[in-house]
Structure 1
Amino acid sequence: MKINFKETLLKDLKKYKDGIFAKHHAKYFQTHKGGYGEGDSFWGLKIPQQRITARKYWKDINLKDVEKLLQHKVHEVRLTALMILIEKYKKADDDAKSVIVKIYLKNSECINNWDLVDLSAPYIPGHYWHNNSLKDFWKYAESGNLWKERIAMVSTV
């Protein structure tokens, strides 16, 4: 029987849902109309819960499913997907790193809050750009998009 790691991971994350924290996170990340996190939704997960889940699945989940998680409407699911991408990137050969960076950049519109950027930018595009071409770095740095510019800036850390 084939295991659907994406669905199993989502089920594991849902176990940690907390309505009180979800409301707090929504306020903190300014999800209200006109806020920098407008439209984002939260389950109220805590970072340690997400790290435990990411560690549990990072080896077995495929990149296609991680990309789907990165596109999820729930903020903490995207954060967990980034944790998984970081682990996969750290262990990847050069070809796989290139694929992971392409997934990251292709989905950068989903990396749309400071915690998502700050967690991932130094370890994925930052590492890659430092060791390869800076062409995409400059596109991001000069994009006029808050989160893409932050990705470029934080990638230099």
Structure 2
Amino acid sequence: MTERGALTAEGVRAALESAASVDERAKIERRMTDPRTQVIGVRMGTVFDIAKANARMPLAEVDRLLDSDGYEMRMVAVSILDFQARTKGVDRAALYELWMRRLDRMDTWDFIDRSAPRVVGLYLLDRRRDVLFELARSDDRWHRRTAITAAFSIIRAGDLDDPLALCEILADDPEHLVQTNVGVALREIGRVDPARLEEFVARRGDDLSAHARRTARVALA
């Protein structure tokens, strides 16, 4: 029997289903990148409210949320991981290990953007980043997006060498959903060190997509 007041995957599912609407489901389905993704139909503001209410959920229950094929269930899961990663004294290794073990469930751009910078990037601030280079060379577009997105927190800490090396690998990536975040990473690099961005764009700018190039140049405006 579930303890009264416990933070559980079943409780999250019930909260989401009670907030679902047919109209919202149709809106969300239109922006899904994988037609196999199941959509409950809950507006994002409500999804994040449910995640915040469950922010102290045990990681075993977060893992159960990640098992779900429901888009909103997994969005709650990654949002909980992100909320926990912001908490002082948190076990960052446990968050990181769960995220990486369930990498196969991070299969939309917004799951990655919602959680990779803090859950993966903050953990790697003072560690080797070999895993990011492995992901950047993956055949899986979501792995490549994870690599550059996790680097956002590293860039914001003023550490630019590895993020720039990741941009070197991904500068000519054929996938739009990777290029968009390469552009964001370069923009943030430019806000820390404009000269290093200028050098990169002068050398590799033609390899970037037009979208990534425009985004990067915002820091030089």
Question: Is residue 60 of structure 2 the alignment partner of residue 64 of structure 1?
Answer: yes
CA contact (8 A) 1:129 1:137 kept: no
User: 2:103 is aligned with what amino acid?
Assistant: S
**Alignment match of 1:42 (pick from 12, 28, 39):** 39
**Alignment match of 2:81 (pick from 85, 92, 99):** 85
User: 2:31 is aligned with what amino acid?
Assistant: Y
Q: Secondary structure at the match of 1:5?
A: coil
CA-CA distance at 1:93 after TM superposition: 3.2
**Alignment match of 1:101 (pick from 96, 103, 107):** 96
CA contact (8 A) 1:70 1:77 kept: yes
Which residue matches 2:204? none
Which residue matches 1:130? 125
Query: What is the CA RMSD across the aligned residues, in angstroms?
Result: 1.6
CA–CA separation in structure 1 for the residues paired with 2:138 and 2:89: 29
Q: Secondary structure at the match of 2:122?
A: helix
Higher relative contact order (CA 8 A, sep 6+): 1
- Where does the alignment leave 5 or more consecutive residues of structure 2 unmatched? 153-221
Please, which moves more after superposition, 84-93 or 74-83?
Answer: 84-93
In proportion to residue count, which structure has more helix? Answer: 2
CA contact (8 A) 1:89 1:100 kept: yes
Q: Secondary structure at the match of 1:17?
A: coil
Question: Is residue 16 of structure 2 the alignment partner of residue 19 of structure 1?
Answer: no
- How big is each residue's C-alpha offset from its partner over 1:45-92, in whole Å with a ceiling of 9 and x where there is no partner? 111101111111112x21000011022110111011111111112225
**Alignment match of 2:143 (pick from 139, 148, 151):** 148
CA–CA separation in structure 2 for the residues paired with 1:9 and 1:151: 26
User: 1:23 is aligned with what amino acid?
Assistant: A
CA–CA separation in structure 1 for the residues paired with 2:79 and 2:29: 21
CA–CA separation in structure 2 for the residues paired with 1:14 and 1:132: 40
Identity %: 17
CA contact (8 A) 1:58 1:84 kept: yes
CA–CA separation in structure 1 for the residues paired with 2:35 and 2:41: 16
CA contact (8 A) 2:12 2:73 kept: no
Which residue matches 2:7? 5
Q: Which runs of 4+ in 1 moved over 6 A?
A: none
User: 2:37 is aligned with what amino acid?
Assistant: D
**Alignment match of 2:114 (pick from 114, 119, 122):** 119
CA-CA distance at 1:22 after TM superposition: 1.1
Q: Please, what TM-score do these two structures have when normalized by structure 2? A: 0.63
- Where does the alignment leave 5 or more consecutive residues of structure 1 unmatched? 30-35
User: 2:93 is aligned with what amino acid?
Assistant: S
Q: Please, what TM-score do these two structures have when normalized by structure 1? A: 0.87
